[in-house]
């Protein structure tokens, strides 16, 4: 069944098709993730071409099909996340976020909350917030879309909410220091990293501006989240490999910030 419709959408990916056409995957607010066939996009002065660039949001108008390919006929209210488009580091993190969205939901799965969450992540990244923190928050809160809901708020054994914690697969959540001996195979993660992951599991993007982490803490957080994704999700995205490699050479292209301070965000 086909109907003429319009929806706000975020470009997830695109690839050339034949000589002048494109297949564009768009995460739409009203109909979920859909693949669109766009004819003649490589022709000169194609008016909708800017709306199909990576890291672009717009209202897409066309025929939305319940099966097979859909079609974009026109667009309006085009907004580009310009800084992400122009910065190789930001585009690396942005691509990874969008790849995660693509992996987390099925085609045509209506999920306006995830759409808004994705929009907020890209917007905050484009406005200059730390892309690593943005990404960490996104990864942790996206676990639910993969069917994973770890207990972060309190010790899975006694309910304690304060102190040092570690993550336990056996108990499906965090264990306080008093119960670490119950699971010798717990992650043995850095307690500071666990603290921030617990914070990230519930924080909203409008509250992150005050979080400023040392590089060492970021690395420990990265290690913890990687363990979670390896155990529970098991996807290996090229964009994730790229941002891991990027960490080894970004200091060559970016000035170091010696004033970076740890922000001990409250639980």
Q: Which domains does the chain have, with CATH numbers?
A: 2-80 (2.40.50.140), 130-250 (1.20.1440.120)
- The Cα 85–Cα 54 span in angstroms is 7
- The Cα 72–Cα 51 span in angstroms is 11
Mean pLDDT (the chain, rounded): 92
Tell me, what's the pLDDT at 91? Answer: 97
Contact 133, 215 (CB under 8 A): no
Task: pLDDT band for 18, please (50, 70, 90 cuts).
Answer: confident
Residue (of 216, 229, 175) closest to 198 by Cα position: 175
Tell me, what's the pLDDT at 252? Answer: 64
What's the number of CA atoms in the CB half-sphere (13 Å) around residue 266?
0
77 has pLDDT over 50: yes
264 has pLDDT over 90: no
134 has pLDDT over 80: yes
Tell me, what's the pLDDT at 40? Answer: 85
């Amino acid at each position: 069944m086909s109907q003429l419709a319009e929806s706000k959408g975020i470009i997830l990916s695109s690839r050339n098709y034949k000589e002048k056409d494109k297949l564009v995957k768009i995460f739409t607010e009203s109909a979920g993730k859909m693949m669109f066939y766009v004819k003649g996009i490589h022709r000169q002065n194609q008016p909708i071409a800017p709306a199909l660039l990576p890291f672009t949001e717009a209202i897409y108008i066309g025929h939305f099909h319940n099966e097979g390919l859909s079609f974009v006929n026109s667009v309006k209210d085009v907004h580009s996340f310009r800084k992400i488009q122009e910065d190789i580091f930001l585009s690396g993190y942005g691509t990874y976020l969008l790849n995660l969205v693509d992996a987390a939901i099925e085609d045509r799965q209506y999920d306006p909350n995830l759409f808004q969450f994705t929009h907020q992540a890209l917007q905050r990244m484009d406005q200059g917030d730390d892309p690593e923190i943005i990404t960490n928050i996104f990864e942790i809160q996206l676990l639910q879309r993969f069917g994973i809901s770890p207990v972060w708020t309190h010790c899975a054994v006694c309910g304690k909410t304060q102190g040092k914690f570690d993550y336990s697969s056996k108990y499906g959540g965090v264990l306080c220091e008093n119960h670490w001996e119950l699971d010798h195979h717990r992650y043995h993660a850095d307690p500071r990293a666990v603290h921030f992951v617990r914070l990230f599991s519930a924080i909203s993007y409008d509250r992150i501006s005050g979080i400023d982490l040392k590089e060492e803490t970021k690395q420990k957080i990265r290690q913890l989240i990687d363990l979670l994704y390896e155990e529970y999700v098991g996807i290996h995205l090229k964009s994730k490999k790229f941002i891991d490699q990027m960490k080894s050479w970004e200091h060559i292209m970016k000035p170091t910030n010696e004033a970076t301070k740890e922000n001990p965000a409250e639980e």
